[in-house]
Amino acid sequence: MYIKLLLKTFLLFIFFTNAVVAKFDINAPRVILQDFLSGKILFEKNADHSIYPASMTKIMTSIIAFDLLKNNELNLNDNFLISENAWRLSKSGYSSMFIMVGDEVSVEDLLRGIIVVSGNDACVALAEGIAGSEEEFAIMMTEKAKEIGMNNTNFSNSSGINDPDNYSTVRDIMIMSNYLIKNYPDYYTYFAEKKFTWDRTGGDPITQGNRNPLLYKNIGADGVKTGYLAVEKYSLASSIFKNNRRLIAVGSGFKTKNSRSKESSKLLIWGLTNFDTIEISKKKKNIDQLNVWMGKSDKVNVVTNKDIYITIPKAKKKYIKTVIEYNGPILAPIKKNQKVAKLKIYFKDEIHSEYDLYSSENVKKENIISRIFTSLNYLVWGDV
């Protein structure tokens, strides 16, 4: 028997995304905006054109360290000896933490020197401490990029300093930023720090501010990383968390610092203002009960195996509904995590997406006597 169970109906303001985007633009040649929870791309322009990521490269430098910390192959209190190679990037003209040759600096201080003050010297020191050389570390970075789906990226150094072989796209930088926030929420808090004080050897402590201009605006920004190269101009990977929503934006080719700040803020606020994100289900959380035939229980709870959100434009009222479709009642026995149904999401009368539903419990078959009475009851009354 084919059964459709209406789960929910939301009455929302929506219209086609293209209509929203058509009235909006950002003054930068390469831009992308994503809703973090649903993964929906809200705006993009030349998102797959190759760019030089500049200091946005340092997001991956940090991720490599976070991976090792997670696997207990590295400790925040570990100290790395500073080489002359790393120290040379403390010179005037480079973003620096101002480490000195022969210093022994903790992994945590190097990470904050990279993330907060964009220290190129700290990048080289961390790379050498982890991989022995920056060249070997760059290989690790590129391998990680491919692993997480950054298919148009190659890293040739740890800092993003000028090198034609150090390239990416704004889409890939978005993928990298999403991975960082999703997998390392605790370490991600470093990116929201507005200043870092390095208690350097042989001199007074140096306090420097975070280079991310959005942290100083009251819009809910908490990351991610700026960049600048003469050939690429100004770039920024940014994220905002407000009203239980997170957006990630990446832009490259802003002509000025002021434009980078202004246009990135505009993009993020536009995403918050013009779209809503709705929770459909949470991973492994029961969302409904389906009928069971010949089981010790006449119902079975069902779940999705992932969090499901949808992001839609605000505007005219349209119907969104979620429907469970299955051939039922489902014959026992049923095993936990058995695929038993489909969850379909509709925009008005058109299907938007669908997901498998799984039983969240075991349901054993009735004993023989109970099965006989159940069958007789059905034959007489048509009641399952």
Which residues are annotated as catalytic? 55, 58, 118
* Rounded distance between C-alpha atoms, residue 18 and residue 6, angstroms: 29
Phi, psi of 35 (to 5 degrees): -80, 125
User: Chain-centre distance of CA 256, in angstroms?
Assistant: 27
Give the position of tokens 């419990």: 361
What burial letters (b/e) apply to 224-251, b meaning 16+ CB within 10 Å?
Answer: bbbbbbeebbbbbbbbbbeeebbbbbbb
Instruction: Answer yes or no: are the C-beta atoms of 80 and 132 closer than 8 Å.
Output: no
Give the position of tokens 């633009």: 25
DSSP conformation class of 167: B
Which residue blocks in the chain are alpha helix, DSSP H? 17-21, 58-70, 84-87, 107-115, 120-131, 134-147, 170-183, 257-274, 368-381
Q: Which residues partner with 184 through β-bridges?
A: none
* Rounded distance between C-alpha atoms, residue 369 and residue 365, angstroms: 11
79's CB contacts (< 8 A; 6+ apart) are 104, 105, 106, 107
DSSP H or E run through 43:
strand 41-45
Give the position of tokens 């009641």: 383
35's CB contacts (< 8 A; 6+ apart) are 42, 245, 246, 247, 271, 275, 277, 309, 311
Give the position of tokens 């908490």: 222
Q: In degrees to the nearest 10, what's the CA dihedral of 251, 253, 257, 258? A: -70
Phi, psi of 99 (to 5 degrees): -80, 160
* Rounded distance between C-alpha atoms, residue 254 and residue 46, angstroms: 14
User: Chain-centre distance of CA 18, in angstroms?
Assistant: 23
